[in-house]
Amino acid sequence: MDLSTVAFPVNTPKFWGNEQELVSKCIETGWISSEGPAVKEFETKLAARCQRKHGVAVANGTAALDIAVKALGLSTGDEVILPSFCIISCINQVVRGGCVPVLVDSDDSFNMDVSQVAAKITPKTKAIMCVHTYHFPVDMEPILALAKEHGLKIIEDAAEMIGQTCMGRPCGSFGDISTMSFYPNKHITTGEGGMVLCDDPALAERCQQLRNLCFDPKKRRFVHEDLGWNYRMTNLQAALGLGQLEHLEAAVQRKREIGRKYGELLAGCPHLVLPQDKNSKGESNIYWVYGVELPSSAPLDAEEVMKRLAAAKVGTRPFFWPMHEQPVFREMGLFKGLSFPVAERIARRGFYIPSGLALKDEELVEVARRVRKVMEEIGAGLTCRQSKNGFPP
């Protein structure tokens, strides 16, 4: 097939073969709502995969984060430490719940700079939100130590690290409460969907109530003593998730194949800093996305380079925009005068290229060819490089 004129989206999900049968069974039996048996099965199997005792399936990853913040009892005036460089979903319920978001910068792994966390802890600090981002997990060891020392809760957003490990444990196993997303670009997709994971049975019960309008099974139906959400996952979604979960290891393996192949094909490409295959701890990159960065000496920013790649029919997506620079929070008077140089840099100079699980090898080669051509046309004589730890200098 001639791929020279094909447009490549930034992500195309992969279906491994059993998903259609499982979803069809839901339709045949009539179990399509959140009451169906696939929901509980999906919760149980994913929780076990993440070495957790309880899983609570929800409508999406944002719903999981909303529930996590409220289930921990965080409220007005409580401080929550989290990275500025993350998706806005992470901070939504923190702000809406009246908590005070306390931001830290990232390091060159794109994760929160854990060395900055201790200085941010005050008597009002109640939780640390760790957000595993793009390639490698957050350095959890010092975070766990700080949480233990100061009696803090940990919210772990593992949406981008399904199947990744840290310190020999699955991502999603570290938080007092952990969250996942099953959006189509994740290693397991249910179209939309998410999961809350924990070990505390009382916390799990609280999450179950919050996802279902705070119905209390011990009381008369439609009588409510608290406010929750309709954040339920459908049986159809859960069935799709079960089919995907069967192939999680294969999905992670394929992501790593894609990342390493891009590393080979784009080696020496002008103006790009490529991700490292392993970090300083020897942990393997999961390549949830294939994220690249333009060095400071590059003649263009990411926005302009992405426009040129779009003209070449290569889909891209920019990196997250920092929370301290979000207009909605500036209007609220938050984060005045704050600057986080690493978050600001990577937001303006980072983007990722097609790396969905359905991307075929020959398509990957064509994408790399177009990326190289565009970058060579920019032409400033700067060659692609990796610093000794694999991140931009």
In the predicted structure, residue 1 carries a pLDDT above the cut 80: no
pLDDT at 4 exceeding the cut of 90: no
Structure tokens at 40: 């509980």
DSSP assignments along 371-387, one per residue: HHHHHHHH--SPPPB--
Instruction: Say if residue 385's pLDDT is above 60.
Output: no
- CB of 125 closer than 8 Å to CB of 146: no
Has residue 354 got a pLDDT over 50?
yes
Banded pLDDT at 153 (limits 50, 70, 90)? very high
pLDDT average, residue stretch 150-164: 98
What count of residues does the chain have? 393
Please give the span between the terminal C-alpha atoms of the chain, in angstroms, as a whole number: 40
Task: Indicate the pLDDT class of residue 2, thresholds 50, 70 and 90.
Answer: confident
Other CB atoms within 10 A of residue 296 CB: 9
Q: What is the pLDDT of residues 190-221, one digit of tens each?
A: 999 999 999 999 999 999 999 999 998 888 99
Domains 19-245 and 248-378 in one fold: no
- Enter the pTM of the model: 0.93
Average pLDDT over residues 66-86: 97
With 80 as the cut, is the pLDDT of residue 134 above it? yes
**Lowest-pLDDT range, 52-56, 315-319, 377-381?**
377-381
Cβ partners under 8 Å of residue 379, min gap 6? 270
pLDDT digits (tens, 9 = 90+) for 210-250: 999 999 888 899 999 999 999 999 999 999 999 999 999 99
Structure tokens at 229: 């959400």
Domain boundaries, the chain: 19-245, 248-378
Place of tokens 């704050």: 338
Neighbour tally for 151: CB within 10 Å: 8
pLDDT for position 298: 87
Higher-scoring residue by pLDDT: 230, 2: 230
- H/E run at residue 54: strand 54-58
Question: Where is average pLDDT lowest: 37-46, 62-71, 290-299, 379-388?
Answer: 379-388
> DSSP letter at 233?
P
**Widest Cα–Cα separation across the chain:** 72
CATH architecture observed for domain 248-378:
Alpha-Beta Complex (3.90)
Nearest to 71 by CA among 241, 212, 182, 183: 212
Classified by CATH at the fold level, domain 19-245 comes out as Aspartate Aminotransferase; domain 2 (3.40.640)
Q: How confident is the model at residue 297, as a pLDDT?
A: 81
Give the mean pLDDT of 62-76: 97
Query: Nearest to residue 38, comparing CAs of 308, 236, 251?
Result: 236
